[in-house]
Structure 1
């Protein structure tokens, strides 16, 4: 997207689906209501985060299965499913089932690597195989093969009154081309491009060639495309305040201020860095996005909603994004 010369083509949003431990149903219903609102506002896609052993959505595939029955048009995505927690064969069946229920609207986002706090959970997750589990890109390749229709069994045919397939059923045509990789490094961008995946970028990246976040994200996008990749989505936290009440604006500003200290720094041995959240009127946010090197290279975005806001706040933010920020970026609702 070379600055302002071309319109934003796809506009989506991402939510963590926070819930109260004592009343988890309310939080899950709120997430579904937000997805329905997104469709009504004309968003192209709605995405849910994946949070194991936390108070956010632990089973995005199940939540999106429910969303398929409440919506008819909006694309539904996961950002992202960490495959270290999953059996690729079983996940392939779940993804295909939800895609069929949605009429071909599922966009699975995935990543690899050991589960977070693996030493604390491996005894429960993989009690017999924890020390030999393969958390490399091989795990992604298995999922891609199974979703794509490769054989998973040596037997197929009729046995008694039952019919057996040697491939994952149901087969969801086109799902393989709608799988995204959540990448924040040059290595993952290169691998995703070489293996025909789409690339999800976010507000977290691994500093390798620069300690400037936008420059780092630009290097990842260019590497992805140099190795055969095409579709890239950018996912920053943006908070438009056009229709916010004074109380909401104060809450939003405190949220952004509380996270501001981590921007411009690197963390841990892998030098992770965070992009700052963008808050202001839609016109102000648009100007900052147009100046962002990563945004200049994409024509679709998935803006991340802040973690800890109330349902009414999300309604205001999504409404402003769809009716004010989107048009500022040249986007038109579906």
Structure 2
């Protein structure tokens, strides 16, 4: 059994063939899609976070709105770039969104990915400490975020406050009990997956990772997941870890599907440099008639290792068509592969 969610990048472009032409379109359609996805039995609504782009960037208003209009579906991110974040303010935002949703937040964070601009986090007022890289800064902020989510007091109270204080040091409010255990780390390497396990975070592994041994993408990703699970067990955490993988999967069941995605299923893994000195491997898309799709997906080792599958969606094609995409996976694919 697997949890199945969708992952939206939240694109918009003023193009006549797009349903999402403005930021407002994308935000409102994201809410509508999450509501519709819950109704058909999808388990999670997840959103990417990209700054300086015509894509979703500020997740907590959106997650709060979805939380208020749904009752069961998990809501989350994949991922928030911690280089841009104030960890303390983020604790407050995340706590509020989680309370609004009734404890359904599954928050994916990371040190970040390639950006639209050069060192965009500097424009947000952040600078690595001497001797640190921006990746170091992102991981340090993540650890501070995790620490403050525990809800322990750390701030000295004012002896003459505007309102009476409880005894002892003060914590950030609102505090949402249990949110600390629902934080995920987006890992692009085996080493950072192990680091996530050691620090008690669930694992998000996307459609790309650093190429560490030249093997096919799904095999490298499965190896990463096994290393993560071993590190989690070694760390002695009492709760069970969760692992998600992202995939572009399209069941071709009508002419419209074939028009949009008929050529994508012929692809293979690809390679490129997402940083100057690091080669990355990008997983292929899956697009085929259901029988062929089932046979191909059955060979994907990383999907087998994961408990959660996030389906990347073309949000610009509108709510109705994306509900069709998700419904096709639930109807034709998931039962045959034992996911449901």
Alignment TM class, shorter chain as reference: 0.7 to 0.9
Residue in 1 aligned with 2:242?
A: 231
1:86 aligns with 2:85: yes
Residue in 2 aligned with 1:220?
A: 224
Distance 1:189 1:318, change over 3 A: same
Name the CA distance, whole Å, in 2 between partners of 1:123 and 1:135.
Answer: 12
Which of residues 283, 292, 300 in structure 1 aligns to 2:291?
Answer: 283
Name the CA distance, whole Å, in 2 between partners of 1:314 and 1:68.
Answer: 20
Residue in 1 aligned with 2:12?
A: 19
Shift in Å, 1:249:
1.4
1:249 aligns with 2:258: yes
Divergent runs of 4+, >4 A = 254-257
1:267 aligns with 2:267: no
Q: Deviations over 1:101-126 (max 9, x none)?
A: 00000000000158735635355211
Q: Deviations over 1:42-97 (max 9, x none)?
A: 11111111121111111122111110111011010100001011011111110011
Q: How many residues align?
A: 318
Greater alpha carbon shift after TM alignment, 149-158 vs 279-288? 149-158
Structure 1 segments unaligned to the other structure (5+ residues)? 1-7
Aligned to 1:171, the other structure's residue is in SS state coil
1:30-49 equivalence runs, <5 A: 30-49=29-48
Distance 1:115 1:62, change over 3 A: farther
1:184 aligns with 2:188: yes
Greater alpha carbon shift after TM alignment, 46-55 vs 113-122? 113-122
Structure 2 segments unaligned to the other structure (5+ residues)? 15-20, 234-240
Give RMSD over aligned pairs: 2.4
1:48-63 equivalence runs, <5 A: 48-63=47-62
Q: Is the 8 A contact 1:84 1:114 kept in 2?
A: no
Distance 1:176 1:198, change over 3 A: same
Distance 1:120 1:234, change over 3 A: closer
Residue in 2 aligned with 1:4?
A: none
Which of residues 147, 150, 153 in structure 2 aligns to 1:151?
Answer: 153
Shift in Å, 1:307:
5.7
Q: Give TM-score, length-normalised by structure 2.
A: 0.85
Residue in 2 aligned with 1:102?
A: 101
Aligned to 1:163, the other structure's residue is in SS state coil
